[in-house]
Amino acid sequence: MNYASAAKRINAYERLIRLDKPVGALLLLWPTLWAVWIAASGRPAIYIVLIFVIGTFLMRSAGCAMNDWADRDFDGRVARTRDRPLAAGEIAPREALILAAVLAALAFCFVLFLNEFAILLSFVALAIACAYPFAKRFVPLPQLGLSIAFSFGIPMAFAAIRGELPWECWALFAANACYAFAYDTEYAMVDRDDDLKVGIHTSAITLGRHDVAAVMASYALMLAFLAWIGIALRLGWPFLAGLAVAAAIMLYHYTLIRGRSREGCFRAFRHNNWVGFVIFAGIVFSYLLPEFP
């Protein structure tokens, strides 16, 4: 294999695991870091942070490879995904499965540095991650499956740090499930016309003309859960300021998705990274500035 062929193949693998599109990894990372900081009362051990950051990127990459393998017969018929490596025939299906397994195994190596409770939960997380790509064939709202999969770093963080799953763990889980449902529905709105032709289920199709209302209601529920957590844990003004900025961003997303254009919906989806970031910043500064109640 010459240099040009090798470079082309490496590029295909990079695109398969979305190294060129880090937004999805960040959408998975921010809520996990919310949980790490809250579970550790603002003082997480560096090794815990590193394990969850590295593990998040590895599992997101593994999930992308698994998802493309599951959707290899559909992606070529959807405008946004027809150039993905598997759909375009640049990578064999077997190679995608092998890469997904290797990345998941690497992530598990890091999990082994955590306690037994977190290790046990990692098997549940893996099962959900493997099952989710097939949900769109059978479930009217498959985005609920992604909501659970993208929220599982939260109980794992509490298990690793506290050895238990207190109420705030499940409140954070619920908040992030609403968040993930909102942004993944925006994502599904991009492909609605193609998905109707292919014959798969998505929340954008099932909700029909109520899709925009559902996205905004999910955002509102997310903010309500987070406000409850912030007030109960006395996180203070930085956290509430973060929620206020997040709410402003969500209102901006409404202006992007209300017309249901592909470009607007995709832009709103990608912009959700900032929602997760400002909430994380609010949590961090709430613990750094405890003198301001």
Instruction: Average the pLDDT over 13-40 and give the result.
Output: 93
Which pLDDT band, with edges at 50, 70 and 90, does 62 fall under?
very high
Domain that holds residue 114: 12-288
Whether 57 is in a domain gets the answer: yes
What pLDDT is attached to residue 139?
Answer: 83
What pLDDT is attached to residue 30?
Answer: 97
pLDDT at 41 over 80: yes
Which CATH number does the domain housing residue 208 bear? 1.10.357.140
Which pLDDT band, with edges at 50, 70 and 90, does 290 fall under?
low
Whether 293 is in a domain gets the answer: no
Q: What is the mean pLDDT of the chain?
A: 91
SS (H, E, C) 116-164: HHHHHHHHHHHHHHHHHHHHHHCCCCCHHHHHHHCCCHHHHHHHHHHCC
Whether 119 is in a domain gets the answer: yes
Whether 6 is in a domain gets the answer: no
What pLDDT is attached to residue 72?
Answer: 83
What pLDDT is attached to residue 293?
Answer: 46
What pLDDT is attached to residue 1?
Answer: 58
Angle at 52 between CA 51 and CA 55, to 5 degrees: 80
Rounded distance between C-alpha atoms, residue 149 and residue 179, angstroms: 12
Whether 2 is in a domain gets the answer: no
What pLDDT is attached to residue 137?
Answer: 78
Q: What is the dihedral of CA 211, 216, 218, 221, to 10 degrees?
A: -150
Overall size of the chain counted in residues: 293
What pLDDT is attached to residue 201?
Answer: 85
Which pLDDT band, with edges at 50, 70 and 90, does 7 fall under?
confident
Domain count, the chain: 1
What are the phi and psi torsion angles at 73 (to 5°)? -90, -10
What is the radius of gyration, based on Cα positions, of the chain? Answer: 19
Whether 208 is in a domain gets the answer: yes
pLDDT at 240 over 70: yes
pLDDT at 291 over 60: no
**Nearest partner of 230 among 44, 28, 37, 56, judged by Cα:** 37
Whether 4 is in a domain gets the answer: no
Instruction: Average the pLDDT over 55-73 and give the result.
Output: 90
What percentage of residues in the chain have a pLDDT greater than 90?
69
Contact 289, 247 (CB under 8 A): no
Whether 5 is in a domain gets the answer: no
With a CB cutoff of 8 Å and minimum separation 6, the contacts of 138 are 201
What pLDDT is attached to residue 21?
Answer: 86
